[in-house]
Amino acid sequence: MPVSLPYTGVSVACPVTVPYTRTSTRSATGFVGLALSGLLAASGLAKEDIDGLAVSSFTMGPDTTIALTEHFDMTPRWIEWIPTGGASGIMALRRAARAVQCGDAEVVACIGADTADPLSFARLVDDFSTFSTAAVAPYGNPGPNGPFALITEHFLRRFGLERADLGRIAVAQRANAAGNANALLGAKPLSLDEYLAAPPIVEPLHLFDCVMPCAGAEAFLVMSRDRANDLGLASARIAGSVERHNAFHEDPVAIRGGWSMDADALWSQAGLVPADVDCVQTYDDYPVIAAMQISDLAFCDKHALSAFLRQHDLRIEGDFPLNTCGGQLSCGQAGAAGGFLPIVEALRQVTGQPLGRQVPGARVALASGYGMVTYDRCLATAAAILEGET
Amino acid sequence: MTLDLQVCACCGTAQYPPRSVCRTCLSEALEARAMEAIGTLVAAATVHRSLDPGAFAKSLPLRIGTVALESSVRMIVLVPRDAIIGQRVSLRAASGGHAIEAVVLADPSARPRSQD
C-alpha cells in the first residue's frame, strides 16, 4: 500500500463562497475574480502576495488559468488548471499543498467557479465527452441522469437498499441547509414522503435525487502554517489525502469508486480511524454516490448501508453529520464549484466558520470528490481529511 | 444477429465506445468487426425527462439498460419493457438512428445469471 509523504507545515485557510444564483449574466471569469477578491479580504493579503493559482471551471470558454493571470494582472510563479469537475477541489488542494511544501509557491489560491444561463447546462452536457456524445445521447439524451439511474438501480438491488434509504440522505441534507443562506433550496423543507412522491426523471431517480444547476464559486488558500499564523488565520492541516482515476473499470456497473482502493492509505497517512471524524462532506451529485462514498471510505460495509442510513442521524446535530451545508442537493450545483463544496465545507467546520450551523466541537472533517462522467460513471475520485489547528 | 464492434487486430480486444487506439495494447490497428454481441442485462432505468425533449418526445418513457458482454465490454443500450435484469440478451443496431438495442434471447433453459 503506497502512502504519500505527510503534508507537514502546510495549512489550508480562508473558505470563501461567492453566493449562488440560479442563473447569472456574470461570466465564469467574473466569478473567479469575485472569489479571488474574497480570498484577499479574508486573509488580509494583497493580490501580489498570491503567487500560485489553481482553477477549475466548465464555462470559461477557451480560457484556462493562464488567461486569468492576464485578466487579473497577476504574475504567479505556479499555476494549475484542473478540469476534473467533482474531484477538482481536492485535487487542487493536493497540488497546491505540494507546491507550498516544496517552495514552488508561497500562497496558492484554489478556486472552482462557474456561471449558468438557462442553456449552459444543456450545452455542457451536449459536449461533455467524446463517449457521452456517441454512446449516451442516442438513448433519450438523458444527460448524467441516465448513467446515474443505472448505477442507482443496480446499487439498490444488489446491496438491499430501498429508495427511502437514499431519501434519508436527501432529507437530512435539506435539514442541514436550513441555516445556510447560500443554499438555494435551504428555505424549502423536504419530507421523506415528498421525496418518495416526487416525479420521475430517469427511474429510479426522481426529482429530489437530482441537483439543480446554478452559478457560483468556492475557494480557499493554501500556505505554510507559519504564514497562516503570522496572518492570524484560522487554519487546518491536511492529515491525509488520496486520489485515483478510472478505478475498477472492469466493473460492468459502478458499485465503488477509487476511494475503496485508497481508503486504507488515507486512514494510514492520517493516523486516524473513521470514528475520529466529526463530519463527512461527500460529493453528492446523487444520493447513491454519497452512500457509495460512505461505504468506500470505510464507514460501513455496502451490505450494511441500509441499516447504517436508518440508524444514524445525518443532521448537523446528529451522530453522523453529512454534507452539513446541505450539499449540492440543497445548495445547487455551481458547476466545478460543486467539486470544491465538500473541501470548503470541511474547512469551514474545522475552523469554526460555517455559513449555516456549526457541527458541535468539529475538529476533524473528511471531504471527498467524484468527477467526470465521460460515459457510464465518474472517473476521478479523491478524498482528504482536514484537522483544525487552532 | 450481429453488431459492428471495434476490435484490435493485434490483440483481439473488443471495445466500446470506439477509441482511437486499443485500450489494452495501444495499437492503432483497429477494425469494425460484425460480431455476435451476447451478454447479460445488469441494470435498467426508464428515461422520463430528456435534455432534448423535442427529439425524444414521442419515444418517452424510454427504457435503457447496461449490458455486460462476454467480451468484457459494457454498453448502455435500449431495452425492451419486459426484459428482466439478469436475462441474456443479444445486441443489434436499432432501426433509424444511432442507438443499439437489446433483444432478449429466447432460450427457455437459460437461467438468469447471478449479479454477484
Summarize pLDDT for A173-229 with one digit per residue, the tens.
999 999 999 999 999 999 999 999 999 999 999 999 999 999 999 999 999 999 999
CA of B105, closest CA in chain A: separation in Å? 20
pLDDT, tens digit, 9 for 90 and up, residues A74-124: 999 999 999 999 999 999 999 999 999 999 999 999 999 999 987 777 778
pLDDT of residue B107: 67
Determine, for residues B77 and A139 on separate chains, whether the beta-carbon distance falls below 8 Å: yes
Determine, for residues B64 and A139 on separate chains, whether the beta-carbon distance falls below 8 Å: yes
Interface of B with A (CB under 8 A): 16-18, 42-52, 55-56, 59-62, 64-66, 68, 72, 74-78, 85, 97-99, 115-116
B108 pLDDT above the threshold of 70: no
pLDDT of residue B111: 56
Grid cell in block for residue B13: 480486444
Domain boundaries along the sequence of chain B: 1-35, 37-116
pLDDT of residue B109: 57
Cβ neighbours of B49 in A, within 8 Å = 142, 145, 200-202
Cβ neighbours of B116 in A, within 8 Å = 158
User: Taking the mean position of all CA atoms in its chain, how far away is CA A24?
Assistant: 21
A128 pLDDT above the threshold of 90: no
Please name the residue of chain B whose CA is at the shortest distance from the CA of residue A123: B51
Q: Is A61 on the interface with B (CB under 8 A)?
A: no
A145 pLDDT above the threshold of 80: yes
pLDDT, tens digit, 9 for 90 and up, residues A227-284: 999 999 999 999 999 999 999 999 999 999 999 999 999 999 999 999 999 999 999 9
Cβ neighbours of A141 in B, within 8 Å = 50-52, 55-56
pLDDT of residue A69: 98
Q: Is A373 on the interface with B (CB under 8 A)?
A: no
| Averaged pLDDT, A48-60 | 97
Amino acid identity of B90?
S
B55 pLDDT above the threshold of 90: no
Inter-chain CB pairs, A–B, below 8 Å? 106
pLDDT of residue A129: 86
pLDDT of residue A316: 98
Which one of B4, B24, B50 would you mutate to disrupt binding with A, by most A Cβ within 10 Å of its Cβ?
B50
- Dmax (CA) for chain B in angstroms is 43
Please report the ipTM that was assigned to this predicted complex: 0.94
Q: Is A147 on the interface with B (CB under 8 A)?
A: yes
pLDDT of residue B11: 97
Task: Compute the Cα dihedral for A214, A173, A302, B115 and give only its sign.
Answer: negative
Determine, for residues B66 and A141 on separate chains, whether the beta-carbon distance falls below 8 Å: no
The partner residues of A78 in beta bridges, in order of sequence, read: A52
- DSSP single-letter state for residue A42: H
Look at strands B62-69 and B38-47 and give their pairing: antiparallel
| Averaged pLDDT, A286-313 | 98
The C-alpha cell 475520529 sits at A276
pLDDT, tens digit, 9 for 90 and up, residues B16-43: 999 999 999 999 999 999 999 999 999 9
Kindly report the backbone phi and psi dihedral angles of residue A35, in degrees, each rounded to the nearest multiple of 5, phi listed first: -65, -45
Determine, for residues B18 and A147 on separate chains, whether the beta-carbon distance falls below 8 Å: no
**Complete domains list, chain A, with CATH:** 10-119+215-230 (3.40.47.10), 134-212+236-388 (3.40.47.10)
B110 pLDDT above the threshold of 60: no
User: What is the spatial distance between Cα A371 and Cα A115, in angstroms, rounded to a whole number?
Assistant: 18
The C-alpha cell 459502478 sits at A254
CATH 2.40.50.220 for domain B37-116, yes or no, is: yes
Angstrom distances, CA of residue B7 to CA of A45, A350, B70: 57, 52, 14
| Averaged pLDDT, A48-77 | 97
